[in-house]
Chain A
Amino acid sequence: MTQKSSVRQLFGFMTDVARWSLSGGIGYQLFLCLLVVFMMLGVFAYLVQWKLGLTVTHMSDIVSWGFYIANFTFLVGVAAAAVMLILPSYIFKDEHFHHVVIIGEVVAVGALIMSMTFVFVDLGRPLQGWHILPIIGLFNWPSSLLTWDILVLNVYLVLNLSIPAYILYCHYNQREPDPRKYRPFVFISIFWAFGIHLITAFLYEGLPARPFWNNPLMGPRFLASAFAAGPALITVLLAIIHNATTFKIPKQTFNKLRLIIVISAIINLIMLFSEVFKEFYFPTHHSLSAEYLYFGLDGHNSLVPWIWTAVSINIVGTLLLAFNPGKNRPMVLLPACVLLFIGIWIEKGIGLIVPGLVPSPLGEVVSYAPSWVEISIALGVLALGMFVVTILLKPALIIEQRFETNNETV
């Protein structure tokens, strides 16, 4: 193939992808518009924060990380969970997962973009962001876990963009991708998925100042909860795609996903039970954060209803998925996935970050709830993530479908 024709091919690929991304039925267009509206709301709230400083949030010197970092932590887990599709489809050559692996990868990209945006909006001086870049700034690696996190998240983003992009490009041109070119990177991305979430856990786990976080179970528990919440989200997404598009998803995929979610959710609950036991069997000064979270402290009990809701729907969701009373009917399966997802979001988000910071090292107890600016920015970031997932997924599914029908006819 000559240089010129390959350039033309690439150009054709790009324009087709852009065209497929943005064109669609009236429902699709309305959905995109709705996301843009939420993104604009986020931009507006961010401008307010830009003008007045982080004082417009409800964070303080005591609760110095809030809703943004809570969402960041949770979404890193969602990104890592793509490995639960990548591992079986590329390594074990599972055909049911192979069919949908691209969806997992796109979800990972969306979740990564959201989590990195959440860190960015949390910065006090975003314009000085270049100070953290290696070479032109000062990158405090390997000492600071935050630099590790920046490193692993960005590499994971590149991996999850480039592997599917290569495979899709080959499929677009109606040829089989060369496994020698992408399989090594698939292996790296599998290890990397565990890495991003472990390192995000180490961010907290490595702080002896915060007994609630300084807990070796944090890393494994992050993984278990992520491998439940991520596939739960993907299950819901697959159901939406199955019903709203011509891209059909086999029943077996849903069944296998259910098994993954059940196993992870059970491990997650066992670890949760172990943590709760440690905090409350013989409460020490270090258990005050857990007491604050589960029962309230000095009259500050704003988190109490949230965490009990989270734990309850966590257990209900896990039981529903484990005992499967609906016999794999989506009527039961999907609400169970939604419950589990929301439960883990509360518990791994606000239920993890805020109690880590309260009581403060000086023993002070305060309540925290996000301000309208924080909620609006968070909505904007979520809309951004959904937008990215949508416009990447649409052309990806068209290419995959064309390739599959073409192969069948051959």
Chain B
Amino acid sequence: MGFLKNKSCRQQITDEHRSCQDAGRRAFLKKAVKAAAIGSTAVVAGCQAPGLLGSKEEMALQFQEYFKAHYRLMTEKERDATIIRLERLAKLQKGVDVQISSKGALPGVLYGYGFNVTRCEGYMECVSACARENNLDRKSNTQYIRIFEMEPGQMAPNAGNGKFFNEVPVDGRFYMGAQCNHCDNAPCIKACPTKATYREPDGIVVVDYDWCIGCRYCMAACPYYGRRFNWNEPVVPANEITRKQHYLGNRQRRRGQMEKCTFCVQRTREGRLPACAEACPTGARIFGNLLDPNSEIRFVLENKKVFRWKEELGTDPKFWYFID
């Protein structure tokens, strides 16, 4: 045990060391990009007026973005470069300073989620916290999480009522949430023709938004209704944008891209809870590392009556419902 602790300590130190290095390199690159931008401004001074397609700098950045590789195939340097471009684009287009992380999966971590059916009372704080945290489109009112009001005898979200507007909780009813199940054997990953959606080493099923071509085959393949498509250009007011972002998480999506719950990768890889779990007023949402025997999720799996939705499909979800 002591050995394990020691090892994780050392891991942490090297991780911090690496992130320091990352920050240093990125800061340097940032300066270089800025210098280049100033240089080009001097050259094209006078024709800087933002036209139909935005400023020249914006067009240049978007042009470079167009040719970038799949996130998994990028070198560290390419990742840094695209993040600098994306941060700059956010500044140019929205006037917002965002920080986009590319932090990888932590070693020895496999995330799992528990939903306490007994405790949930249908307040839907999770739904709005998720929308705020993940910069979900306000125009189409995108929600990663859906809450269903259930009658006794029902035990799957699809049997319940997803459009309840009454005061909660209602006596004799209970509530169930539905969101991406982060399947270990995910039908969406199998279906995606470009490998834009894939499983990260910590078990999170993510979408490389910029690699997605918007064919929506994953959407047809998902048995849990876990995926959302940007039918229109997503709209988030600048003052409501969550600025701490992750490349695979809550950064700005564009029209025509698929998106989904990422277990709040921008938070969880920093050791925080997903926004939904943090927001839940009844403590119905449990999140943690399945590989850590002392985690809360492991306690739930070992001591509660747990079940998974559509177990018969063999998708092996990492999202468990449980009863107190």
Contacts and interface: CB of A to CB of B under 8 A. Distances in A.
A212 B223 CA distance: 13
B222 A209 contact: yes
B215 A123 contact: yes
A343 interface: no
Contacts of A146: 191, 193, 215, 217
Interface string A131-144: 11000011110011
A192 B215 CA distance: 24
Contact of B216 (A124, A359, A360): A124
A125 B213 contact: yes
A204 B187 CA distance: 12
Contacts of A362: 146, 148, 157-158, 162, 178, 225
Q: How large is the interface on B (under 10, 10 to 19, 20 to 34, 35 or more residues)?
A: 35 or more
B214 A125 contact: yes
B276 interface: no
A124 B229 contact: yes
Interface stretch (A11-19, A21-29, A57-65, A78-86): A57-65
A178 interface: no
B194 A140 contact: yes
Interface stretch (B22-30, B230-238, B267-275, B297-305): B230-238
B256 A361 contact: no
A408 interface: no
Nearest to B223: A209
A55 interface: yes
Contacts of A138: 70, 73, 194-196, 211
A28 B27 CA distance: 67
Contacts of A137: 194
Contact of A125 (B158, B187, B195, B257): B257
Contacts, number: 136
Contacts of A131: 70, 194, 196, 211, 213
B214 A363 contact: no
A210 interface: yes
Interface in B198-220: 210-217, 219-220
B313 A208 contact: yes
A52 interface: yes
Contacts of B223: 208-209, 361
A326 B66 CA distance: 61
Contacts of A361: 158, 222-225
B232 A150 contact: no
Interface residues of A, number: 45
Contact of A53 (B191, B192, B221, B231): B231
B65 to A, nearest CB: 11
A207 B310 CA distance: 14
B232 A65 contact: no
A126 B228 CA distance: 18
A61 B213 contact: no
B159 A61 contact: no
Contacts of A360: 158, 225
Nearest to B148: A362
A138 B192 CA distance: 10
A104 interface: no
Contacts of A128: 210-214
A144 B256 contact: no
Interface string B54-72: 0000000000001000100
Interface string B30-64: 00000000000000000000000000000000000
B231 A144 contact: no
Contact of A140 (B160, B192, B216, B231): B192
B190 interface: yes
Contacts of A55: 140, 231-232
A231 interface: no
B213 A123 contact: yes
Given A140-B192, A144-B190, A209 B230 contact: no
B221 A209 contact: yes
Nearest to A288: B158
B255 interface: yes
A54 interface: yes
Given A138-B194, A146-B191, A361-B223, A127 B162 contact: no
Contacts of B148: 362
A186 interface: no
A186 B229 CA distance: 42
B215 A124 contact: yes
B230 A61 contact: no
A132 B231 contact: no
A122 B222 contact: no
Contacts of A145: 191
Most buried by A among B140, B159, B194: B194
B232 A53 contact: yes
A65 B193 contact: no
Nearest first, the 10 A-B pairs at minimum CB distance are A124-B214, A124-B256, A363-B158, A209-B223, A55-B232, A146-B193, A125-B256, A55-B231, A53-B255, A361-B225
Given A53-B230, A363-B160, 8 more contacts: A124-B256, A125-B256, A132-B213, A144-B192, A207-B187, A360-B225, A362-B158, A363-B162
Interface of A: 52-55, 57, 59-61, 64-65, 119, 122-129, 131-132, 137-140, 143-147, 150, 203-204, 207-210, 356-357, 359-364
Interface of B: 66, 70, 73, 140, 146, 148, 157-160, 162, 178, 187, 189-196, 210-217, 219-225, 227-233, 254-258, 313-314
25 contacts: A54-B231, A57-B231, A61-B229, A123-B213, A123-B214, A125-B213, A125-B254, A129-B213, A132-B213, A140-B192, A140-B193, A140-B195, A144-B190, A150-B193, A207-B187, A207-B220, A208-B223, A208-B313, A209-B222, A360-B158, A361-B158, A362-B158, A362-B178, A363-B162, A364-B162
